[in-house]
Structure 1
Amino acid sequence: MTPLVIDTDPGVDDAYAIVLAARHAHADLRAVTAVFGNVDLPTTTANARRLLGMLGRGDVPLGLGAERPLIHPVSRRAADVHGDDGLGGVAERFGPLGPEPAGRALDVIADVLETSPEPVVLAAIGPLTDVALLLATRPDLAERIGRLVVMGGSIGIGGNVSAGAEFNVWSDPEAARRVLVEERVPTTLVPLDLTHAVTVDRGWLETLAASGPVGEALAATRTVYGRGEALGVDRVPIHDAVALLEAIEPGTLATVPLEVEVDTSLGPARGMVLADRRGRTSPGRTVEVALPEGTDLDGVRDALARCLRDDMVTRPGG
């Protein structure tokens, strides 16, 4: 079993990721923490509560995270992609509401790390503000994080919020730089390069919808979400679920160690992740970057379907 904490900004693809983690046979979901991002903090928190309630996972503590970036205020949300409610305009299909937040995100995560007999995997699938604050204020807990899995960045295909920046990193580049460049926690970065290669089509979503109420609710988000992602084909990416699969099943995605930098300027490149792919031996810190080359893309889609479909659930509370 993989002991797991998720820091998230639900968000449609975050909803897929939470369902995956709550249902995966090898995931021991210890906590979920909500951060600002796709929508504001009250909405991401409510959405996390809806998902935990719908999944029957009231046993999972929920933490209340950062409501804004470390330094500069956020200039836009992602309602055009995720809907005003964060769940593709169909938030009412998810629920009932799970328990109220158990406390601040930093305290909830710290409690899991301090009490776990083994290192914990921390999956960060929203802006990295909470993770940066945790590592800055509790550096003693860094060694209790077995691995940090981050959904964010774009290495070579362009961004989804600007010409070069991916939304999660762009939302708080200063936090992202601290986590990806300055810290030393073992980290796997799952960028758009990989998640845009693992899109799902109408047939995949129709099969998911037919599997039961949770699958139906997830698939119903596609009307707004698919239009907002605008990839030019009748397919949608579920970025965060791909990252969660790697968090739970290490080695699912093919990775290469790369030294990265995050642009924190206030110019057009703000939020870009720059990866050095020249193959040089570098004394700097490297992170494992997941790329399509070497990854079984169809195998990832199949694994996601097995974990997300209601008719495949074997765990209690699913």
Structure 2
Amino acid sequence: MGTKLIIDTDPGVDDAFAIALAALSTDVDLLGVTTVFGNVPLAATTINARRLLQLCDRPDVPVAAGASRPLVYPNPYSAEYVHGVDGLSGRSEALPEPARPLDERDAVSLLYSLLKAADEPVTIAPIGPLTNIALLLAAHPGVREKIGRIVIMGGALDHGNMTAAAEFNIWSDPEAARRVLVEEDVPVVLVPMDLTYRCAVDTAWLAELAASGPLGTMLESLTPDYLAHYRKALGWEGIVLHDAVAVAEAIRPGLLRTESFPIDVDCGLGPARGATLVDRRRRREPGTQPVRTIEIAVDTDVDALGKFVLARLSGGQ
């Protein structure tokens, strides 16, 4: 059928676009969705994910709730100031109520079951804090062989958005992020905010989405609070589809241009906590130990990416 995909998410407006992108793509076998704390608390991210799948007429996709807090240190902050109090600009309850009950399994158990049952490699797209993925790899190391790629939205090469140094998803659970990005031997593509900001779309793009039909109209209606935030952050009328950029790459490998770099995550308690430290030196000192590298998305055809996402959300393939 195409790419076998699991999304781990904390909806969130950009998560909503990402979930819809996968759910509406006929070349994607969306095996499941797991939820995590992040943009809003876990209860809200979970009902948002379920309602979004119902909006996309995908009651076949199981949803399981995962971590409600980081691995080590409590996280008192979320992102209602960006996404609205319910994560969807106050419009969550306008979405259809889910027909499928919440899966009785927790997120890690569902991830393990789906991977164990898979007859070919599965792509995982974590687009929130990496807590569930770190727990999966710690508890079930044998599933690594079933993972084709982990395509992550997170991190920053130059500066953060939650702090001067750290991007929100990585900052929300640096210890989990370090396990996945640095310590585990799994193929990773990191899609940092440096690139996702360059893929921002304007209100003409949103108007075209709204005009495409009832589903597009509903997706566009989730954006007012998000648009108000990015009007200030961008300095023009538009929004950043952070998570949808990562899911686009998960669906169509190679849509983003990547380069291979070593990386580390600052897990200290100082002002750089949550920073992704990407070693972009072309030459390293002789005699140093080889280190793990991951693929980091550094460029794309921005216009083509915007058209790809819009076509999928509008019902085209």
| Counterpart mapping for 1:56-205 below 5 A | 56-102=57-103, 103-156=105-158, 158-205=159-206
Kept in 2, the 8 Å contact 1:260–1:276? The answer is yes
Match for 1:138: what amino acid?
H
- Tell me the distance in 2 between the aligned counterparts of 1:143 and 1:27: 20
1:164 is paired with a residue of what secondary structure?
Answer: coil
**Partner SS for 2:6:** strand
DSSP-derived class of the 2:4 partner: strand
Q: Of 262, 277, 280, which aligns to 1:277?
A: 280
Q: Is it true that 1:260 corresponds to 2:267 in the alignment?
A: no
Q: Deviations over 1:156-179 (max 9, x none)?
A: 2x1111111111000000000000
**Cα deviation 1:296-315 (Å, max 9, x = unaligned):** 111100100001114x37xx
Q: Deviations over 1:52-80 (max 9, x none)?
A: 11111111111110010000011210000
Determine whether 1:246 maps to 2:249: yes
Secondary structure at the aligned position of 2:256 is classed as coil
SS at match of 2:278: strand
Measure, in 1, the Cα distance between the counterparts of 2:77 and 2:260. 32
Task: Confirm whether residue 36 of structure 1 aligns to residue 37 of structure 2.
Answer: yes
2:118 counterpart letter in structure 1: S
Give 5+ residue unaligned stretches, structure 2: none
What's 1:301 paired with?
A: 306
- Structure 1 spans left out of the alignment, 5+ residues: 314-318
Per-residue deviation, residues 143-190 of structure 1 (Å, max 9, x unmatched): 11010000000112x111111111100000000000000011000000
CA root-mean-square deviation:
1.2
Does the 8 Å CA contact 2:88/2:223 hold for their aligned counterparts?
Answer: no
Cα distance in 2, alignment partners of residues 185 and 301 from structure 1: 29
Q: State the alpha-carbon separation in 1 of the partners of residues 135 and 283 from structure 2.
A: 32
- Normalization by structure 2: what TM-score? 0.95
Within 1, Cα distance between the matches of 2:172 and 2:181?
A: 14
- Give 1:280 shift: 3.0
1:139: how far off?
0.3
* Cα distance in 2 for residues equivalent to 1:144 and 1:246: 19
Question: C-alpha displacement at 1:142, in angstroms?
Answer: 0.9
Question: How many residues in Structure 1 have an aligned counterpart in Structure 2?
Answer: 309
> Do structure 1's residue 287 and structure 2's residue 290 form an aligned pair?
no
CA distance in 1, matches of 2:222, 2:200: 15
Identity among equivalent positions (%) equals: 51
